[in-house]
Structure formats: structure tokens, C-alpha cells
A = this chain, B = another copy of it.
Amino acid sequence: MSTPRSLSRTDPRSLPHTLSRVVIENIRPQVDAGQRPAKAIVGDGQSVEADIFSDGHDVIRCEVRYRHELSTKWSSELMSPLGNDRWRATIPIESLGGHHFMIRACVDRFATWRRDVDKRLESHQDVSEEYVVGAQLLHDVGRRAKSKERRWISDLVDQLTSHSTTLDDAVGVLVAENTGSHTLREAMSSARLSHLTGLSDPELCVTSETYCVTAEPALARFGAWYEMFPRSTAPAPLRHGTFADVVARLDYVSSMGFDVLYLPPIHPIGRSGRKGRNGSTTCDEGDPGSPWAIGSLEGGHTAVHPDLGTLEDFDVLVAEANSRGLAIALDLAFQTSPDHPWVTDHPEWFYRLPNGSIRYAENPPKRYEDIYPLRFDGTEWRFLWQALLDVVEFWISHGVTTFRVDNPHTKPFAFWEWLIASVKAECPQAIFLSEAFTRPRVMEELAKIGFSQSYTYFSWRSTKWEIEEYMTELTRTEKSDYFRPNFWPNTPDILTAELQQGGQAAFLSRLVLAATLSSNYGIYGPAYELQEHLPRTIDSEEYLLSEKYELRSWNLQDSRSLAPFVGEVNAIRRAHPALHYNHTLRFHPIDNDQLIAYSKDLPTSEGRDVILVVVNLDHSFAQSGWLNLDLAALGLDPLAPYELHDLLTDAHYTWSGPRNFVKLDPQSVPCHVFSVAPSGGGADGA
């Protein structure tokens, strides 16, 4: 730790051992100088970029070498120049788990020679001497090439040096672009790269440090989440819902097009300190308590609440959900009620006050009398950590691989890094969503140490300026290498002022924003689609009659339900691959601060998929403005007309040129979600 690394590089007394002339810097993706893996997705190509250059003007050749962590065989992909010494290659990610990569680069003497001879020929200089240099290079490289190229190159050398070959012919063979000698150039480069790791010519090549990406399933990149309290799913009011009721609700959730059904904790709930309706510290008979106050005589984190059913019922629910393409996500809330079995079995896992009592959860002066925090750094922490890992593995053994983690920022980073790595070693498809509504650096750290996705500040980003700035940070900075946002317009803890006051327009527009700005998003329902908007008190973001503290019965047949709209939005998301990614997000100027416009686009086998979204951020008044589209960036001919199909209203428009008028009224649908295509060419245009 205390040996400065800079000294090891520049000992003034000694000359360097080798003469690496090539520099490789600013490699992406990269997290904390390569100390942690970046994030990747199985089936996606992973772009790898770096600044690569040498002194002087020589031609560079470079490649990415990569392998899965369980394989010993390296593959490689040549990099292409992007300009300004930036290079890129895309490597295939074909399986889950860790993939290592490094960059190898060298000065390509033959390509340099080729380029310079071309320039000399163009200015009619004598190249006879250069021809000999080229033939020597050919000879030197061919001698060290692999057998495949060696024979071929050596034949060529013979041919070039035979007396029957004129200088012009020989030079012609060496520099010709469109004949067999194009192959020559490739062969020379490839022959050179193939022995880069050998001892010959070590001064010409350099290899970067090894970096790592962790590949997760596509669901980590693209998914619509639906949060629902199982106990509020009973068809009869005031009856405690069961897993069987949840099964009966699956078609409803599935028909809205969700990918993940996330259930708040399903475990037995403590009685000591139990909170009453609206979070009251006094609890009435029959109040069910908060599901996050986990543990009672009936069991702890591996038990299910008896009123919900049995573990077998839960297994049925998982199977039924999966059969509809729905993943079940469980809540990992690593805390206990005072009645959790661990309190008596493992008192050393809790904070004890000098008088022997256990400390409640608190954030002074606030107190949570129904919850004990666990002590992650007590003397017996290793046993506690293992027990918590056992909890996750227990639910994995019941078919759950998607987890929403409650308040991870109040537990040590080292714990999560260890837990997630341990789980993924056995179950690389596991997905962890971090529910850390806290300071930016802390949220980023949780993403760096392994969380697949994170809740964000989206809920409170309302103005055009806020949204554009936040999305730029999420999609255009190094944060995008490791931090995957999951946008929630509401949660059981977050009923924003905007939803409280904005009426239906707010519910529609916040849904469209979440679902199209971010490839991952979720809503807490049925509160969302039923437009539940009353807060517990003015200035509170808590719901009145929150499901956290009581059973609720929801009228899903309410004619004002937004369920059909939610279904449409999710169907659009599924149909349009552009919405499955965030990296192409681009904002377009529109001359009204109440209107925001952005696009996502992606090449597909049927042409470029282009989605253009315009949203009215004003929930009270119609707003209009002139949009200025960056047509070239969307792959559209700026001089040709193009077709827009509003996927929400099924309206069709033909536009020409970048400037176009848009008007959106909060009294109807306050958003456009356009599919855009060149006139006559768009599969979606009709």
C-alpha cells in the first residue's frame, strides 16, 4: 500500500527493459481503474474502446483479447479507428458471468512501409531502395509467422527476389490494394500480432492490464416491473390475500405487459412495536403490521406469512408466473422485528445498549420501534453474513432469481460485494435491484460493487432541464459502464407532489417518461393505474391509508383505470428494440420549456428502429412548440420527407425537414410516442 506506484515506473538510475512505443489509455468500459467489473448483457455485443497511439507517425494495429472467466482460451477482435487516436472493437458476450479482456497493440511496420511507399509513388520518388526494405520486412515477419502464413509469405519473398521480377512488378505486388496482395497486408499484420506475446520484437508491442465485465441476463437491461402487495389481492374486501389470490391476479399483471412481479416481504410479521394504520405507533386489533417488520414466532426470512399460505403455495405462484413470462422478485430486507427468531437465537447479531436491551432502528431523532437493525460489524459478523447468504440461496432454491434489496446503503458495501459475488458464482442469472435513495456517491458505489440495477432520483426529476441533465449523467458518462437505472414514478414510500396534484395527465406522462427514458422501469400498483393520489398529510410523500400498514381492496374494474394505457406502453416497449437500450438516447431542441423531446434508435435486421417521444410536462394546459429534429443523427435524409406513426393514438403524420410543430393537451394523451421511418420505407409506417 505504501510503495508509490509512480516510483516503480521511473527509476532514474536504470534504463527500461523494453521499448514499448505504443500507449493504451482511457479504456472503456472501466470501473475504478479496472478494480471492479463493468456491466454487460448476454447476447449483446460489448463495445471496448481505448486511446491507442505511439510516438511518431507509424501505423498502429490493435485488438481486444477476451475470454470467459471459466475458459482459458483467449479470442480476439481487431479494433477500428474512430479518429483522434480512439479505437473500438465489439466483442461478443455469449454466456453469463465474468469476462476478461485486454488490449494488445503494436506498431505495424509493414503497414507503415506500405503507406509511406504509396506517398512516395504519388510524388514520383525513387522507391527502389524502399522495395528492398519492404522485401526485408516481409522476410523478417514471414520467418516468425505461424505456419499458415509462413509458407505463403516465403513463396512471395522468393517470387519478389527472383531475377525474372522487375522492380515495378515487385513493388506492384507489394503495394497493390485490390489483388491478392490485399491479403498480404492482412497476413503481415496478423503474423505480427500472432507473435506479440513471444520474445521476438517485444519492443514493438504492448498489452494493457486485464479488465472485466460481468454479463447478466437481458432482463437486467430491459424489463418492466410491477410492485404489488400480495395481502391486498383478495377479491373480498378485508380478507387477507393469499398466494392463490396472487395467482388469480397474474393474468391481469401479465396482460399489462410486465416482465417482473415484485412482492414486498412475504414473511411473518412481528407483533412487538407493530405499527397501526397510517404508520401510527399505536396498533389496533387486526392491524396487519408492516411487511418489513420481518419475523415472529412463525419464523423469519425463510418463512412465509401463514395468512399468505405455505411455501408450496409460493412455489405454485412462482411456476404460474414463470409460465406467463413473469419473473417473481422478492424483497431482501435485512432487518428484523423484535420477535424474529434470530433475536433470541443470535442476540450477538444485534446492537445492545449498556442496559442489555437491543437498539431499535433509528435515524435520530426518528425511531422505528417495530424494527431492529442487524449489526453487520459485530464480533460474530461472519456467521450473520453467512446466514443472510443462506436466506438468498433458500429463495433461489424456490425459483426466485430477481431481488429488490431494501435500503442496501445502511449495510456495509463489503457485505454486498461478497454476497452478490457469492450468489452469482452459483447463480449468474441473479439480478439485484438496489433500493438506495441516498447520496449520489453511495448509490454509485452500490452499483460498482455488484448491484444489477438501481432506483434513481427520477421520481423527483420533473422539469425539462432536470430530466435532460439527469439523463445525460446516466447515459453519457462513465456511470453508464456500471449503473443501470430503474425508473419508478411511484413506490409505496413515494407519492410525489406531481402525482398528488397533476391529475391523470401526470400519471400518463410520468409513465411514458419512465418507460421510454429508461429501458428498466416499474410502477407500484394497483395504486398507479387507479391513480391513487391522496397523501397521508400535506407535504408528505406517504400514501393515505398506505398498504404498508393495512389491507387494501382495489377496484380493478374502475373505468378510469389506466391499465389499458399501461398495457399499450409496455407493448410498444416490447415491439421496439430501440427502447430496450439507453445509450442512444438523444434530446432534440423544442422551443417550449414545458415540452420535452427525445429519441432512441437502434439498427435492426429490418432497418433502423427509431422512436421519437414528445411529452407535455405541464399537467394543466395545452402546450405547443417547434421541434428541431437532428435528422442526420436518426439516419434520416434531411431533404426527404419521413413518416411518423403515433403508437399511442395510431395517428399518422408526414414531416419534411427538421422543424415541425407539436401541440399536446393534458386533457387527452399528453404524449406522442412516434415510430419514425423514411417515407415509403418504414415497416411500421402503415
Contact = CB atoms under 8 A, between A and B. Distances in A.
Interface stretch (A15-23, A239-247, A488-496): A15-23
Contact of A136 (B9, B51, B354, B412): B354
A414 B20 contact: yes
This chain: copies in complex: 2
Interface string A37-76: 1000000000000010101110000000000010000000
Interface string A107-147: 00000000010011011010001001100100000000000
A22 to B, nearest CB: 9
A655 B133 CA distance: 71
Nearest to A101: B4
Nearest to A129: B353
Contacts of A414: 16, 19-21
Contacts of A125: 364-365
A413 B21 contact: yes
A34 interface: yes
Contact of A6 (B23, B36, B411, B425): B36
A102 interface: yes
A212 B445 contact: no
Interface in A376-423: 376-377, 381-382, 385, 409-414, 417-418, 421-423
A296 B254 CA distance: 87
B210 A3 contact: yes
Interface string A352-383: 01110100000111000000000011000110
A25 B19 CA distance: 32
Interface string A1-39: 111111101111101100111010100000011111100
A466 interface: no
B12 A53 contact: no
The list of the 9 closest CB pairs from A to B, nearest first, reads A33-B33, A123-B365, A12-B425, A6-B212, A12-B421, A119-B364, A12-B422, A132-B354, A10-B421
30 contacts: A1-B102, A1-B207, A2-B210, A5-B34, A5-B210, A6-B35, A6-B37, A6-B98, A9-B417, A11-B421, A12-B425, A15-B385, A16-B414, A23-B441, A25-B32, A25-B445, A33-B33, A53-B441, A53-B445, A55-B412, A55-B442, A57-B363, A84-B439, A85-B440, A123-B365, A125-B365, A129-B357, A132-B353, A132-B355, A133-B353
